[in-house]
Structure 1
Amino acid sequence: MDSERGVGVEELARAVGARPRNLATLLRYLAMLGAVTEGRDGFRLTESGALLRAGAPGSMRALALMYGGPFYESFAGLVHTVRTGQVAFDHLFGENHFDHFARDPQLAELFDQSMAAGSAMFDPVPAHPALTAAAEAPGGATVVDVAGGNGELLGRILAAHPSLNGVLLERPHAVEAARRRLEETGLGTRCAFVAGDFADMPAGGDVYVLSRILHDWDDERCREILRHCARAMPDHADLLVVERVLPCDGSVSLATAWDLHMMCNVGGRERHAAHYGRLFADAGLALVGRSPLPLDGNVLHVRKARSASA
């Protein structure tokens, strides 16, 4: 199915190996959701539905496969999580989210692609004042992307600021994917790649980035990660934490939905700004600014607390 011509139910059913009557029921539902539209020549994708195609600009296919696959199965265990506190993903799959994906290269790649599919949140990040200031520093500066996935965000930062160099820290199976991605875009020569865990935090960077990392973990693990950052950061360095922040007034926010998702699938959580502030303080850091991002995201600007750097 595409957005150029309509396709009849019988033809679609043959193509996907489905029963025509049952497929027609599904297509009517998808039409109601706005993913397809029906005309005289059959069904065709809408502008929104086209985002489910591989290779389409802004494709959400990987995200849909992830949430319609492992995460969908995990949400079947939501009641178990609410009643027992045990992570539903662990309960259903017998191991945690990260270990399960790391053992399956195809699933690991799909997860990285799904994370990149939500990259609209990153659009304003390269223009953050901390990165602009680093780019203007004499002699250049280095950005350390901690657990930077496939390099989507770091690539955007390096492309926006030719004077910056990058370091990407990731698990061994993921760091090679990031290396390939950044080399394909011509940015690999300006980036070093470190295979390791948070304890292997590269020291001496000018700007550190933690993008959608802290919400994966409980408070104690977050403090540990932030302490690794604080030890690696020179006194002048900035830390940019990209997360969704829970609203204090109960207003509608994607952060509230993701809070449920993180609880069910990884045992993490979204947090209020004040909660993050306490975690930063426990690690000898201080929240000095906050700026909004698309999709209810935020950049939390963090520096070493004065007492910690004195």
Structure 2
Amino acid sequence: MSLEIVTAYRKSNALFAFVDSKAPLYLSTQDLSTQDGKTVEQLSQLCRVYQDRFHRLLDYMQTLNVLTKKDDKFYLTEQWASLSDPNSFETLYIRFELDPAFWNAWSQYSASLSKRNKKSAFELTHHEPFFDYLNHENNKTIKAIFDNLLAKMTDEMNKHIIEHIPLNGISSFIDIGGGVGSFSKNIKIHYPHIQCHVMDQYDFTRQESEEITFINGNFFSAIPSGYDAYSIKNVLDDWPDNQAIDILKNCHKAMREDSVLYVIDMIKEPNDPASFDLYMDTLLLGRKRYQSEFEFMAKQAGLSITNIYNLNFSTENGSYYIIEMKK
């Protein structure tokens, strides 16, 4: 029996507590520091926490190589320097995935596997689906973290998408579930002639910003029609097969005969890490899919896959592709 697996949660919880205390915002690296390090007394006062207990957390962060210490002063290590930025990908990722709202959902994962149950572990915990929870007024902070995290991920992917997505001859484009519009803004930079729209659930009906039109909508109800190109990025893996097919069916209804749909997502490979699938199942009943499963869903929606473009972009969860679909 490997106790490291059993106790691994301690590292995650301690890291979240460290970030949540805002201590990293007062720290820099020792080598590139433009300011002095901070003692435990200084950090405790800045973060308004109990000094003796916080000292234990800082010592553990040193053990994990998050912090280094010299002359009683703590510094971030080079590896974790990004934690000093509240909007870095790493900070946002920690604040989102390890937030108690999502962490607590794992306690219901075992119950969610029951054949009598058709709800995700998250829904069993919070009594409503993930996206409904995010859209509550009192959950705006975590919703903002989620949107900013997705935008950061899009920023990383953008140059790879732009290099491979065929947009020549395209005059109008809509990104379904496009959040804050990072992808469309990037398209506008490289293809300024393309009219770019973004559809997602907003607290307004329609709004213009940076030459992008944002439209409030729900892809389970209806998708705006008449565009040359549609994209749906990192969305289908959020949903079980029946609902993912419903989204594709609504895309089909909105598309003209000569329109194209670009599904930008991971395609599962036999040796891919399995933990991400469990994570998606816990939050959403979602999942990664093999190419054959995308082909099946496309067929059920009246679409066919006409091309697949490798983005040459991978994360620890898998490799991304553009899956081109047409009527």
TM-score, normalised relative to structure 2: 0.79
Q: Distance in 2 between matches of 1:270 and 1:175?
A: 32
Residue 304 (structure 2) aligned to one of 286, 300, 309: 286
Aligned counterpart, 1:125: 161
Q: How does 1:1-310 map to 2 (within 5 A)?
A: 1-3=26-28, 4=33, 5-54=36-85, 58-69=88-99, 70-83=101-114, 84=117, 86-104=119-137, 105-119=140-154, 120-131=156-167, 133=168, 137=169, 141-173=171-203, 183=209, 188-189=210-211, 191-198=212-219, 199-248=221-270, 251-253=271-273, 256-287=274-305, 288-292=307-311, 293-295=313-315, 296-305=318-327
1:10–1:294 Cα change, 3 Å: same
Give the drift of 1:147: 0.9
Quote how far apart the aligned CAs of 1:175 are. Answer: 7.5
**Greater relative CO, 1 or 2 (CA 8 Å, sep 6+):** 1
Aligned to 2:4: none
**Cα RMSD after superposing both structures:** 2.3
| 2: CA distance, partners of 1:245 / 1:68 | 25
Question: 5+ residue gaps in structure 1?
Answer: 306-310
Q: What is the deviation of 1:279?
A: 0.4
Provide Cα deviations, 1:220-251, integer angstroms capped at 9, x if missing partner: 11111101111222233222212222212xx2
CA gap of 1:228–1:121, structure 2 versus 1, over 3 A, is same
Distance 2:300 2:272 in 1: 30
Residues 169 and 175 of structure 1 are in contact (CA less than 8 Å); yes or no, is this contact kept in structure 2? no
Instruction: State the Cα distance separating 1:46 from its structure 2 match.
Output: 2.5
Partner Cα separation in structure 2 for residue 94 and residue 65 of structure 1? 22
Q: Which runs of 4+ in 1 moved over 4 A?
A: none
**Shift in Å at residue 216 of structure 1?**
1.2
State the alpha-carbon separation in 2 of the partners of residues 285 and 152 from structure 1: 27
CA contact (8 A) 1:209 1:241 kept: yes
Q: Does the 8 Å CA contact 1:60/1:117 hold for their aligned counterparts?
A: no
TM-score, normalised via structure 1 length: 0.83
Paired residue secondary structure (1:13): helix
Q: How many residue pairs end up in the alignment?
A: 285
Q: Which residues of structure 2 form unaligned runs of 5+?
A: 1-25
CA-CA distance at 1:126 after TM superposition: 1.7
TM-superposed deviation, 1:299:
2.3
The code of the aligned residue for 2:98 comes to G
Q: 1:128 to 1:108 in 2, by over 3 A?
A: same
Question: CA offsets, 1:29-55, max 9 Å, x none?
Answer: 323433222222511123342323345
Overall identity of the aligned pairs, in %? 22
Distance 2:77 2:105 in 1: 29
How far is the alpha carbon of 1:2 from its aligned partner?
A: 1.9
**Deviations, residues 72-118 of structure 1 (Å, cap 9, x unaligned):** 22223222223455311111111111111101333322221222232
